[in-house]
Amino acid sequence: MKRSSFFTLLIMITAKTLLAQDGTWRIEQAQLPDGKSYNGSLTISRVGQSFGVNWATTAGNYSGLGLLADGKLFVGYGLNSGYGIVVYKTNTATQRIEGVWTASGLNGATGTETLTGRDGNYDLIGTNPDGRIYRGKLSLLKTGDTFQAQWQVANSVYSGVGFMSGDYLVIGYGLGQAFGTVEYVMTGNKARGRWAMGGGSQFGIENITR
């Protein structure tokens, strides 16, 4: 499948700016959805076309993978080894929703996904990093500030949590409810962050610096 300009631009931006984000960051201000504060640090490192992110915080230790678009780092994280992130955007020319995704175990490689449908119910066609095509369905349920997502692909079901960020719909996915999605708005050596966890309807916040 030929990649659209959105897919190409996202991957080019990610590759060019990965090195600028590498290193250790300190959590400057952070709050759980219930209002409780936490602190800690995280490391960001290059993994193929993606970011590897590892947190060590007073709220727990997590690992994730991220993609960068328009100065925003979108990360899917999990407590377990299985997690990923999808970044969707509407192609105004075709009126289709196009996405780029990555997942743990792929060494930072990315796949693509195109959605057609409306009102939270979509048919999808995707391409794995190795070029294999897959088809399935995606359902989205609005829950407060977030969307709960469920993909059905072949005989497998995947769950995720996401939210809108400007023109982007970003969804992190993983096993059980032990996963979430983070958005960092990167500005030099600082970033303003918000996040949601699987099954959650409200945001936490996480602002970082270095």
Task: Name the domain count of the chain.
Answer: 1
Identify the domain containing residue 21 by its residue range.
Answer: 5-209
Mean of all residue pLDDT scores within the chain: 90
pTM listed for this prediction: 0.90
pLDDT (tens digit per residue) in 2-29: 345 555 545 444 444 555 578 999 999 9
Long-range contacts of 9-16 (CB under 8 A, 24+ apart): 9/69, 10/67, 10/68, 10/69, 10/87, 10/100, 11/49, 11/100, 11/110, 13/68, 13/69, 13/70, 14/49, 14/50, 14/51, 14/67, 14/68, 14/69, 15/49
pLDDT (tens digit per residue) in 122-142: 999 999 999 999 999 999 999
Give strand pairing partners of 147: 142, 162
Half-sphere exposure (CA, 13 Å, Cβ side) for 123? Answer: 3
Contacts of residue 54, Cβ cutoff 8 Å, sequence gap at least 6: 42, 43, 61, 62, 63, 64
In this prediction, residue 1 has a pLDDT band, given cuts at 50, 70 and 90, of: very low
| Two tokens, residue 45 | 């490192």
> pLDDT at position 91, please?
80
Please state, in angstroms and rounded to a whole number, the distance separating the CA atoms of residues 207 and 210. 11
